[in-house]
Amino acid sequence: MDLNVATLAVEAGETIDFVVDIGDGLNSDQFLWKIDLKVAPEDPERPGKAWNADSDFPVDQTTPLTAWEQLAQALLCSNEFLFVD
């Protein structure tokens, strides 16, 4: 489904928030909407400026835990460590 907004005036420093609801098809924390923002063609200061959610924003930048770190995490979450006398 496409959502096109003809014109939205935004000043420097303002934030554009996108609130979406996938309805009954939600599974966990899915975010499937790919956003494209473009400067209005009549804006002489930034002609052709555009932003794309896929190419301009980094993919997950977390570093997975090593095997030892996973073991330590599992031990710290175990019942023996939660109830130390």
Identify the pLDDT of residue 41: 72
Identify the pLDDT of residue 4: 66
pTM above 0.75, yes or no: no
Which residues are 51's β-sheet partners?
A: 37
Quick: pLDDT tens for 58-82: 677 778 899 999 999 998 888 777 7
pLDDT at residue 54 is higher than 70: yes
Quick: pLDDT tens for 27-53: 666 666 777 887 777 767 767 778 887
Residue 31 to residue 33: CA distance in whole angstroms: 6
Identify the pLDDT of residue 22: 66
Identify the pLDDT of residue 80: 74
Residue partners of 53: CB distance under 8 A and separation at least 6: 33, 34, 35, 36
Q: Where are the domains of the chain?
A: 23-60
